[in-house]
Amino acid sequence: MRRVGKQRHLKHFGILVMLALLQFACGMPEMGKCESSLSAGRYLMSSDCRPLTWGYELPVPFVYGNSLSQDAIIAFNEAIDTWEKRTGIRLFSVIHENYPEYDGIEFNTNLNLIAFRSGPKWSQEPINGDPDKEPGKTVYYHDQNYLYNTDIHVNNGYALSLDGRPETFDLISIAVHELGHTLGLDHTDDPGSVMYPQIMPGQKRREPSPADIQAIRNVYLSILN
């Protein structure tokens, strides 16, 4: 039976979840926290406190794992397009759209994988995350100077959507954020930045801020030119 005319007041509990980040460094041990003045806090840093980048190795080749939903593929395609259009740089290439993997576990760990991971397995390697707090996580690997492998995991234990409707997490916002990490961006405390580390259900944060765009251009244009 349908009730008509009665308005329901849904209390919004404001679930705030982290768009997280996890690093693995090779070679040199981390030498402690870098002075934020060196990077304005916007970049992932090398062991000697320089922004971590892919150097000349653009575009970054990604494979979409076969666990990804069609919506997630659309979201990542759109997020890639957004970053490239706003920065004017060819940043990513998708070299395979249905790559064999199992629940986000790679068979070939050299690939930059974008995949779903189910909630209960979110706490396992290499994510070791909290399934109730993280709708997405980028795991990144670097040597002394450069990023050489980044994998994006999306937690499909959450309700995810393409239209940011209430009670779901917006896939495009997640994709834009995690792709920012794969390029070498760290979190910021600017809520207008796509690199802000928290997102609410129903919230859309798809457009890189001018500072986000400039952060990418600052490092990659100087390398590429």
CB of 161 to Zn ion, least distance (A): 20
> Hey, what amino acid is at 6?
K
- What count of Cα atoms within 13 Å lies in the side-chain half-sphere of residue 51? 24
Cis omega (within 30 of 0) on the bond before 59? yes
CB of 176 to Zn ion, least distance (A): 11
- Alpha helices in the chain, H assignment, sequence order: 36-39, 70-87, 171-183, 210-224
Residue nearest to Zn ion (CB): 19
**Residue number with CB closer to Zn ion (66 or 198):** 198
Contact 65, 56 (CB under 8 A): no
**Residue number with CB closer to Zn ion (121 or 153):** 153
**Residue number with CB closer to Zn ion (62 or 140):** 140
**Is residue 183 a contact residue for Zn ion (CB under 5 A)?**
no
Contact 24, 139 (CB under 8 A): yes
**Selected binder of Zn ion within 17, 21, 199, 215 (CB under 5 A):** 21
Q: Tell me the C-alpha distance between 17 and 178, whole Å.
A: 14
Q: Tell me the C-alpha distance between 116 and 114, whole Å.
A: 7
Three-state secondary structure call for residue 173: helix
Count of residues in contact with Zn ion, rule CB under 5 A: 2
**Is residue 139 a contact residue for Zn ion (CB under 5 A)?**
no
Q: Which of 112, 152, 113, 110 is nearest to 134 (CA)?
A: 152
Contact region for Zn ion (CB under 5 A) — 14-22, 84-92, 120-128, 203-211? 14-22
**Is residue 175 a contact residue for Zn ion (CB under 5 A)?**
no
**Is residue 174 a contact residue for Zn ion (CB under 5 A)?**
no
Three-state secondary structure call for residue 98: strand
CB of 154 to Zn ion, least distance (A): 12
**Residue number with CB closer to Zn ion (21 or 160):** 21
**Is residue 19 a contact residue for Zn ion (CB under 5 A)?**
yes
**Residue number with CB closer to Zn ion (161 or 188):** 188
Q: 214 vs 74, 80, 97, 218, CA distance in Å?
A: 25, 16, 29, 6
**Is residue 79 a contact residue for Zn ion (CB under 5 A)?**
no
Residues that bind Zn ion (CB under 5 A): 19, 21
